Structure 1
Amino acid sequence: MRVLLAVGVVALSLGCSRGVRPDSAVAGTKPATGKVYSNEAGERVTLIGLEPGDSKKALVMFEGTKSELDGQVLVASVDQERRKTEYWTPWRGRKQRFVSVEDRGGYEDLIFSDVNHTGYTHLKPDTAKTGALKVEKVFERYQDLEGDKKYQSMLAFDRKFWANQAEVQLAEAAAETNKACGSKLTPTVAWDSVTDAQINDISFGSYCVGPLESLQKLCERSDEAKRAVQQKLQAVECRMDAQAALKLEAQKVIWSVTERDTVQPDAATSFFTDNL
């Protein structure tokens, strides 16, 4: 029997106690085997392969992660490489990889990243919880969620949500820069330059933080850089444009990113060194 999970798992009872709606994302499948992963922080991720194996689908359930994913069951498309299996799930209108499992040459390492992908945690196979796992219950839980309006709204594209995620990342980077430089830089995003498709296609927040990180490193190395930032800069702005670039207007640094390119660290460092 071919199983979607990339690891040997304990075979659990198959079949479902009720029919699946024809329009369900899991129509034509049934739960095969499952495995629970956990860590000392109480985070738990359950992976359940779906048959037939060539559907390349699985269910992913999140518990104790202290994120908005807690209590959710998502259907995932499974991308398997030699020693790594990635689980891609829809969330807030974007295809997200919250979970991957890697073969570390003798043990399995499940890597979980939250919605904004700013941090990662590691989980190990939990034999006891796997033994108690009822795959049919999780399968039914997913079917119940499919009919829930709140759940469906969290799968739909949410521009406000992703914009907030990007602003949080930019604000955190600016706070670190201000700490290093002794400055009071105010970060902004030119959202009128960013389309829904671009927000949906790239991790906009991570694209924007690069120049701030370069500025932070300059301040950490040089008191002269600190004084220049304190005296000459009050604000920073990130926007989308035809090409990645930096410019200085009054006391604001404006940098542009594209769908495929950001301002590279060396270029950012050279710009700040020459213009501040």
Structure 2
Amino acid sequence: MGVVALSLGCSRGVRPDSAVAGTKPVSGKVYSNEAGERVTLIGLEPGDSHKALVAFDNTKSELDGQVLVASVNSERGKTHYWTQWRGRSQRFVSVENRGGYEDLIFSDVNHTGYTHLKPDTGKTGALKVEKIFERYQDLEGDKKYQGMLVFDRKFWANQAEVQLAEALAETNKACGSKLTSTVAWDSITDAQINDISFGSYCVGALESLQKLCARSDEAKRAVQEKLQTVECRMDAQQALKLEARKVIWSVTERDTVQPDAATTFFTDNL
């Protein structure tokens, strides 16, 4: 895990039903950046539990003040911390060894951006790992905290809509158009929302239109004159269709129309 061992005080007893029952905090490291964002990693023993605690402070996200229990796995010089949040398994934190120094990569809940943090020697030296352990135990008994762990369809749908709106604004800017976008939410099950980053899937058609408009004024005129809305939906097969002035962008749980194919479709049909 790349964390340093620290001396422990006496931690209070852990509830039998706790996610950290049978473990104890033995190591910790604080990572920070110039913006004051801070992520603390607490190693838990026994080591074969592959568990850690991850604390978030001043990250300007809804994770601020939270401590999450993580499953830890390592591969090719990277250590990944997988946590549950709003019913989905999330990798908010990874630590990479970059030839002699560590780089902690933090991504927010919607994974639209990444922040880099470095080991903070001063804060690590002052760290009391048992305090983070107790902070997690307190949160486990908090109803609001528990509510943030269960699946939230409305939240993930809103996240997808935000991503789609951002891509739509960029497309309209690039094309000089007034396109609208929609998601056929009735075609998407809870399990599918839980399984994939649906917003990332839906922006593909809009990103292809942006690239076309960047190439020529002719493409801009075609988008302005022939398109009105873009609809994203789940279907049995990935597909791209044009009906009247509507683009229908169908994705599956494992596949979506690739960028080159989308560009070819629009070039041939607009």
Same fold (TM over 0.5): yes
Query: Alignment partner for residue 81 of structure 2, among 87, 91, 108?
Result: 87
Partners of 1:15 and 1:31 within 8 A in 2: no
- Whether the 8 Å contact between 2:228 and 2:245 is mirrored in structure 1 is yes
- What's the offset of the Cα at 1:17? 2.4
How many pairs are equivalent? 270
* Aligned equivalents of 1:44, 1:118: Cα separation in 2: 19
Q: Does the 8 A contact of 2:8 with 2:128 survive in 1?
A: no
Using the alignment, how far apart are the partners of 2:203 and 2:109 within structure 1? Answer: 17
Aligned to 1:122: 116
Q: Does 1:34 align with 2:28?
A: yes
Q: 1:211 deviation in Å? A: 1.2
TM-score, reference length from structure 1: 0.96
Question: Hey, what does 1:23 align to over in structure 2?
Answer: 17
One of 159, 170, 188 as aligned partner of 2:164: 170
Kindly state the Cα deviation for residue 14 of structure 1 after the two structures are TM-superposed: 2.9
Does residue 102 of structure 2 align to residue 108 of structure 1? yes
Measure the CA separation in 2 of the matches of 1:255 and 1:55. Answer: 43
User: Which SS does the other structure have where 2:256 is aligned?
Assistant: coil
Distance verdict in 2 for CA 1:15–1:132, change over 3 Å: closer
Partner of 1:64: 58
Q: Deviations over 1:223-253 (max 9, x none)?
A: 0000011111111000000111011111110
- What are the superposed Cα offsets for residues 51-87 of structure 1, whole Å, 9 maximum, x if unpaired? 1111000000001110000000000000112311000
Mapping for residues 181-260 of structure 1, pairs under 5 Å: 181-260=175-254
Structure 2: unaligned runs, 5 residues or longer:
none
Q: Secondary structure at the match of 1:90?
A: strand
| Alpha-carbon distance, 1:41 to partner | 1.1
- What is the Cα-based RMSD across aligned positions, in Å? 0.8
CA distance in 2, matches of 1:229, 1:191: 25
Whole-angstrom CA distance in 2 between matches of 1:10 and 1:248: 58
Distance 1:104 1:17 in 2: 35
**Secondary structure, counterpart of 2:62 in structure 1:** coil
Unpaired runs of 5+ in structure 1?
none
Give distance in 1, aligned partners of 2:181 and 2:139.
38
Please report how far the alpha carbon of residue 274 of structure 1 lies from its aligned counterpart in structure 2 after TM superposition: 1.0
Q: What corresponds to 1:14 in structure 2?
A: 8
Q: What TM-score results when the alignment is normalised by the length of structure 2?
A: 0.99
